[in-house]
Amino acid sequence: MNHVLTVSHLAGRIGGQLVVEDVSFEVPATGVTAVLGRNGVGKTSTIKSILGLIQRTGEVTLEGRRIDHLPTHRIVQLGVGYVPEDRELFSGLTVAENLSLAIRQKNPRLDFVRELFPEVCVERAQQRAGTLSGGQQQMVSLARALINDNRILLVDEPTKGLAPKIVDEVAVALREASNTVPIVLVEQNLKVIDALAERVVVIDAGRVVHTGPARELLDDPARVQQLLGVHGEVAA
Ligand SMILES: Nc1ncnc2c1ncn2[C@@H]1O[C@H](COP(=O)(O)OP(=O)(O)OP(=O)(O)O)[C@@H](O)[C@H]1O
């Protein structure tokens, strides 16, 4: 299979402490690959290790090219888009200003993000990002990553803390986005995983403990319970 990203024996440290122990997985060139696991097992740290945001060892390749020795800004320039868990918008700047600061290419995908998020990217373009709701801020954060032609997008818990209706909106946007770029999605919401992910990578205590088709895992509530410690039934 054609892989856009391969992660091999990745380890990551924060303040000298090993938080990612030994993570290996591959990301196909299309669709959504979900990274799952209980709280605190190292999902966010795995994403940050790939991006070089924390001290890391191991091998990471983007379309066959080693990127594990590069600084974060180079990795992003090569086309690894990042939507961080805490959104990290410039709260005092408008939506339009947040978007224009993110542009890295001559022909940004402005029409695409305006179509995907008309409320925030058109109607609220002149509103300060810090005055938007959590869901709206999440959409700006996604738009900021989608405005460039990335090779892959790393999206960390985009639905965390959002109301169910907004979760559905974010999921629809991510599905649209995944038709244009492969996505690695850290997500706890099984309904979102069910709606979006083709494959899952489950992490426990800094290591990969399961990989496979999302459907196979979601159809096995006992295994979901065992791996994630949550009830395996996906609510209707
Ligand atoms: N800045 C930090 N300083 C010290 N320890 C940290 C820091 N950030 C994370 N950790 C620790 O690293 C481990 C992995 O955290 P990480 O955020 O990667 O887990 P996670 O699986 O993404 O969790 P969650 O689902 O709760 O977001 C945890 O034990 C956490 O306490």
CATH number of residue 168's parent domain: 3.40.50.300
User: Is 105 found in the same domain as 65?
Assistant: no
**End of a domain among 96, 129, 149?**
149
What is the distance, to the nearest Å, from the Cα of residue 163 to the centroid of all Cα atoms in its chain? 19
User: Is 110 found in the same domain as 68?
Assistant: no
CA of 35 to the centre of ligand 1 (A): 14
Confidence (pTM): 0.93
Structural domains in the chain (count): 2
Is the CB of 16 inside a 6 Å radius of any atom of ligand 1? Answer: no
Give the pLDDT score at 230.
77
User: Is 158 found in the same domain as 123?
Assistant: no
- Checking ipTM against 0.90, whether it exceeds it is yes
User: Is 99 found in the same domain as 169?
Assistant: no
Flag whether pLDDT at 236 surpasses 60.
Answer: no
Q: For ligand 1, atom 31, name the residue with the nearest CA.
A: 40
User: Is 26 found in the same domain as 8?
Assistant: yes
**End of a domain among 96, 116, 149?**
149
Flag whether pLDDT at 233 surpasses 90.
Answer: no
DSSP code per residue over 173-210: HHHHHHTTS-EEEE---HHHHHHHEEEEEEEETTEEEE
pLDDT in tens, 137-185: 999 999 999 999 999 999 999 999 899 999 999 999 999 999 999 999 9
Atom of ligand 1 nearest to the CA of 203: 21
Residue 33 is part of which domain span? 1-79+150-236
User: Is 208 found in the same domain as 183?
Assistant: yes
Other CB atoms within 10 Å distance of the CB of residue 68: 18
User: Is 211 found in the same domain as 130?
Assistant: no
User: Is 155 found in the same domain as 71?
Assistant: yes
- What percentage of the chain exceeds 90 in pLDDT? 90
Flag whether pLDDT at 99 surpasses 80.
Answer: yes
User: Is 103 found in the same domain as 47?
Assistant: no
**End of a domain among 132, 149, 166?**
149
User: Is 219 found in the same domain as 195?
Assistant: yes
Sheet of 32-36, strand order: 65-66, 55-62, 3-14, 17-28, 207-213, 197-204, 32-36, 183-186, 152-156, 80-83
User: Is 98 found in the same domain as 202?
Assistant: no
User: Is 129 found in the same domain as 17?
Assistant: no
Q: For ligand 1, atom 17, name the residue with the nearest CA.
A: 44
Residue 9 structure tokens: 């024996």
